[in-house]
Structure 1
Amino acid sequence: MNDFTPLRIDIVSDVVCPWCVIGYHQLAKASGETGIGIDVHWHPFELNSNMVQEGENLREHLAAKYGTTLEGSIKARARLTEMGAALGFEFNYADDMRMVNTFRAHQLIDWAEDQGRAHDMKLALFAAFFTRREDLNNVDVLADVAASIGLDRDTARAMLDGGERAESVREKERFWTSRGVTGVPAMIFNRQHLVTGAQGEDNYANILKQLQTAQAV
């Protein structure tokens, strides 16, 4: 990395959003290839804020919400799996995979942020859901994820049971939706430039170069 101050990037996303996984890893790869440092801050967004606590079969959920056909679902999963593998991330889709309520997962990230571990927690939750197909609405599963990155399992579980981070997450969700964020990933570069969707390594590299050039002026 060079001597420039890392570029701040705020990423609004959900932990069950595959394009958020792809977009982040494309961005990280662009950062590594250009040598331009990035300082990532994650913010909550729920793709399915009214999701029932028991969740829904993922394929059935996508069919009902987006009209995705069986053939379309199979192709989309294959494409994501291939793209993820090229970026070093394993998507491990299965027919019995479930879409889950993510409000508790966002509370866990919010709690981890106080300990400087929000980024690690976010990436760990991506892997828990997409690679290991774990239920991110399950308090025990979430506590295990916290422990996997070195945070105290019992403290994490007590926080989730008590819901003490619920209002903090709701407030942050309202903040971003009030500013026009309706889909994810939504990346805000240097608190000014909004870029939506997974843009690819080349596009991210160009954005980083342009912002670094502007920073040097």
Structure 2
Amino acid sequence: MTTALKIDFVSDVSCPWCAIGLAALELALTRLQGEVEAAVHFQPFELNPDMPSGGQDITEHLTQKYGSTPAQQAQIRDTIRQRGADVGFTFSPEGRGRIYNTFNAHRLLHWAGLAHPAQQLALKKALLQACHRDRQDMGADMVLLAAVQQAGLDVARAQAILASDEFAREVREREAFYTSHGIHSVPAVIVNNRHLISGGQPAGVFEQALRQIAAEPAQVAN
């Protein structure tokens, strides 16, 4: 018997651990085929909502934000690359180079979730690859539209969204909802509105947690 689960994946495009967590979650769901059928919805979270256009050098940003040294950052990048490789996600060996504002990426993801839910995952993955594999400017319309095209979505419609403030209010409301409910770091994987799995966990952790949740008595997931 297959158990249906609702999964809200709260994350930011600029977060490398979100790329790792998503790849690991996908791997876990593949292993759980026949046991679990999951509907995954991507929810917005901005690690740096005040990041200006043009972004900031990543070494400078991480030093200012966390107090880490370039040597420590290089070590973390090595760990991230290896964790990504373990679940099939490729990170650039040089890291991201710069960090950018991701609000428009979240607006496009919100649109995809409403109008084309079956393709929201493809857009999310295209955006993550553009950011972490290809080191592109995630605030640039051309980069975002290329991801839209890669995901098989309507580029003209996406261009119209970017030229307006469409879905800005909705994205901010969703961000406020999750932060007001205690989500202050990502990825945050919320299952059936009740269970929280925090961080870019290995696939085995996701697999075990989802199997345990699926075994619980049926709950209504609105």
What range is the shorter-chain TM-score in? Answer: over 0.9
Amino acid at match of 1:115: H
What are the Cα deviations for residues 123-144 of structure 1, in whole angstroms up to 9, with x where unaligned? 1100110111111100121112
For the residue of structure 1 that corresponds to 2:163, the secondary structure is helix
Q: Distance in 2 between matches of 1:216 and 1:139?
A: 43
* Distance change in 2, residues 1:96/1:28 (3 Å): closer
SS at 2:52 equivalent = coil
- Sort the Cα spacing of 1:185 and 1:95 in 2 relative to 1 into closer, same or farther, 3 A: closer
Q: Which residue of 2 aligns with 1:165?
A: 167
SS at match of 2:215: helix
Q: TM-score of the superposition, structure 2-length normalised? A: 0.91
Q: Structure 1 residues 81 and 107 mapped into 2: Cα distance closer, same or farther (>3 Å)?
A: same
Task: Give the secondary structure class of the aligned counterpart of 1:83.
Answer: helix
- The match for 1:39 is 39
Deviation at 1:213, TM superposition (A): 1.3
Rounded to whole Å, the distance in 1 between the matches of 2:110 and 2:191 is: 21
Residue identity matched to 1:209 = R
Per the alignment, residue 64 of structure 1 pairs with 64
**Aligned with 1:143 (options 136, 142, 145):** 145
- Three-state SS of the structure 2 residue aligned to 1:26 is helix
Is the Cα–Cα contact under 8 Å of residues 107 and 165 in structure 1 kept in the other structure? Answer: yes
Give 5+ residue unaligned stretches, structure 1: none
- Percent of matched pairs sharing the same residue: 39
Instruction: Please give the alpha-carbon distance, in whole angstroms, between the structure 2 residues aligned to 1:72 and 1:144.
Output: 33
Following TM superposition, by how much is the alpha carbon of 1:6 offset from its aligned partner in structure 2, in angstroms?
2.9
Give the equivalent residue in structure 2 for 1:89.
89
Q: Deviations over 1:121-175 (max 9, x none)?
A: 1111001101111111001211121111111222211111112111111111111
Task: Output the TM-score relative to the length of structure 1.
Answer: 0.93
Q: Output the amino acid matched with 2:44.
A: P
List 4+ stretches of structure 1 deviating above 3 A: none
